Every structure is written in structure tokens, then in C-alpha cells.
Amino acid sequence: MRTRKMWQRLLWAMLVVMIPLLAACGGGDDDLLADIEARGVIRISTDPNYAPQSFLDETGNFVGFDIDVAREIAKRLGVEVEFVTPDWDVITAGNWGGQWDLSVGSMTVTTARDEVLDFAQPAYYYTPAQFAASNDSGIDSLDDINGQAVCVGSATTYESWLNGDLAALGLPESSYFATAPTGITVIPLATDNECFQAIQAGRTDFQAFLTSNTVVDAAIAGGVPIHKVGNPVFSENLAAAVDSNSAKDSGTLVARVGEIIQEMHDDGTLSAFSIQWFDGVDLTQDPSK
């Protein structure tokens, strides 16, 4: 018959073995990737009004290039995906407070953002920044942009470039193809697509805007009465990002997402997504190489 002391020793031995196992099953207390794997869901921020990268279809489901990339990342992590839609300036500001885990939203890697976010490398695609204007505006060249009111998405690289804040952008010199127009008034809206949507709706305080070439192409294809103005003015490298100030250690998540993106480059998944959503164009190849 076992004594009370013997039972205490046996119980202690069992606890020594079980505590690490319970911690592992619970995803750990301080590792974000382990936490995501334990809950079986990764929360990814996106934009519901940024076609063709991310938007809601007729049935209210998220679709687009970024959406396909996000779903594939979740699939390769072995978890489900849940999309959340905070404002862009909130995403780029960092300090997400654990409300979502990852941004897959066509975010350019910049000096300013790198101070508050950790970017998974490599970039998953690359896009040129393109001016566009209303067909009735009389704006047909980059010189015509001088002195105009220009719409952009708030807290975007386009806004930084127009304001001359190249230090915050931190892009290599080879990424710039033109200098910003002079004498302009910058009009920021919540997201890039609202610029051409406002023009389409009859807004008249601006007739020109700056956004991704992919957005302009999609709008023109959709019948919006706009046209491209000049050639692209700079090129962007777009990457997935995690909050640097996450309460849980995000290093393993950043590394794993980077590995997955490299795998998707290598096996052609990203190229296939790009060709599908960007009218047959592969934007996943690094233009600097």
C-alpha cells in the first residue's frame, strides 16, 4: 500500500511530464505562430474595395489576387483564414493589439513601415505606380498634373511620394522613374479605388489620381471613363507583414510566411495567381533582377 508521500511524489512526477505537453498543445504562451496553429485560424487584414487585389464579389465573398495569396498561405500553414478589414492607415501604423495576425494587402516595404512592422521576405509581387485621370479632364501628360488636385489612398506610398517624403519611402534610386509634380493639392481618401469611384460618381474637386497600375487597368476594363497619364512613376515591392509590437513573439511566423512565399515563387503558384487576376501579366518577377 502506497503512503501519502509516495502519492505526492508520483503526482509531482506526472506534473513535470505533463506541463510541457500542455503548453505545446495550447500553442505556447509567447509564440504567435504556435498560437495560430493551436487555434486553427489565422486572421489576415485585407481591403474589401481594392480590385483586382481584394474585393467582395456579388455573393459577398472575398476574391482577388491578395485573397488567393492569403488563402494559400493559410493552407500551407495548415489553418483556416479569417479576413478582417481595418482602415489602411491603421494597418500601416502598427500596434495592432492582437486584432489580426498578418497583413496580405499589397503593402510596399518602406523605411517608415519597417520601423513598426516586420516584413516577410521575399516580396510576393511588384507593381508600378501609375497616374490616371478622367477622360474629360484634359490631363494627358505628366506635365499636365502640375498644379492639379490629385487623389490618393490615405497613408499610401503614393501619398508619401507626392508629398516628397522619399526618406519615408526608402525605395532604391532605381525604383524611381520620375519626379513628383509641382504645385499639387493632395486629396487622400480611405482607399485608392475611392478616387476613381468618386470621379465616376461626379465629384469635381479632383480629376487625377495616383495608384497601382493594376487598379487603373481594372477600372478601365470595368468601363470607368478614365485613362492613364504618362508612364509609371515608380516601382513597388509588395510583401506580407506582421506587427513588430505583437504581444507574442512573431519571429517564427515571419520566417515561415517568408518560406511559404518563396515556395510559391518556386512552384509557380504566385505567377499563376498574377496571370489570372492581372490580365495575363506576371507581376511576381523582381524587376531589379
- Is 19 domain-assigned? no
For 209-258, how does the pLDDT look when each residue is reduced to its tens digit (9 = 90+)?
999 999 999 999 999 999 999 999 999 999 999 999 999 999 999 999 99
Q: Are residues 46 and 83 in the same domain?
A: yes
pLDDT at 172: 84
- Flag whether 5 is in a domain: no
Average pLDDT for 25-38: 80
Q: How confident is the model at residue 28 (pLDDT cuts 50, 70, 90)?
A: low
Same domain, residue pair 154 and 226:
yes
Q: Is the pTM of this model over 0.85?
A: no
Mean pLDDT in residue range 266-271: 98
Per the structure, how many domains does the chain have?
Answer: 2
**Cβ(123)–Cβ(144) below 8 Å:** no
Contact 54, 258 (CB under 8 A): no
Q: Are 229 and 131 in contact (CB under 8 A)?
A: yes
Q: What is the pLDDT of residue 26?
A: 43
Q: Are 33 and 252 in contact (CB under 8 A)?
A: yes
CA 16 to chain centre: 43
Residue 287: the pLDDT is: 76
Q: Are residues 67 and 147 in the same domain?
A: no
Whether residues 166 and 201 share a domain: the answer is: yes
> In what order do the strands lie in the sheet containing 49-50?
49-50, 54-56, 62-63
Cell readout for 64 is 482577388
In a shared domain, residues 111 and 131: no
CB atoms within 10 A of CB 202: 6
Q: Is residue 189 included in any domain, yes or no? A: yes
Closest CA to 218 of 181, 252, 182, 192: 192
In a domain, residue 54? The reply is yes
Whether 162 is in a domain gets the answer yes
Cα torsion angle, 107, 190, 67, 271, sign: negative
Same domain, 184 and 163: yes
Angle at which helices 65-77 and 269-277 pack, to 10 degrees? 160
Q: Which domain holds residue 254?
A: 32-125+237-277
Give yes or no for residue 118 having a pLDDT over 80.
yes
Whether residue 288 lies inside any domain: the answer is no
Are both 224 and 151 inside the same structural domain? yes
Tell me whether the omega of the peptide bond preceding residue 225 falls within 30 degrees of 0, making it cis.
Answer: no
Q: Are residues 50 and 193 in the same domain?
A: no
On the question of pLDDT at 104 being above 60, the answer is yes
Among residues 22, 56, 10, the alpha carbon closest in space to that of 193 is found at: 56
Question: Model confidence at 10, in pLDDT bands (50, 70, 90)?
Answer: very low
Does any domain span residue 21? no
The CATH number linked to 251 is: 3.40.190.10
Counting beta carbons within 10 angstroms of the beta carbon of residue 8, is it exposed (0 to 12), middle (13 to 18) or buried (19 or more)?
A: exposed
Same domain, 119 and 157: no
For residues 242 and 121, state if they share a domain: yes
Beta-ladder partners of 84: 45
Of the pLDDT bands very low, low, confident and very high (cuts 50, 70, 90), residue 17 is very low
Residue 16: pLDDT band with limits 50, 70, 90? very low
pLDDT computed for residue 192 by the predictor: 92
Q: Are residues 242 and 229 in the same domain?
A: no
- 284 falls within a domain: no
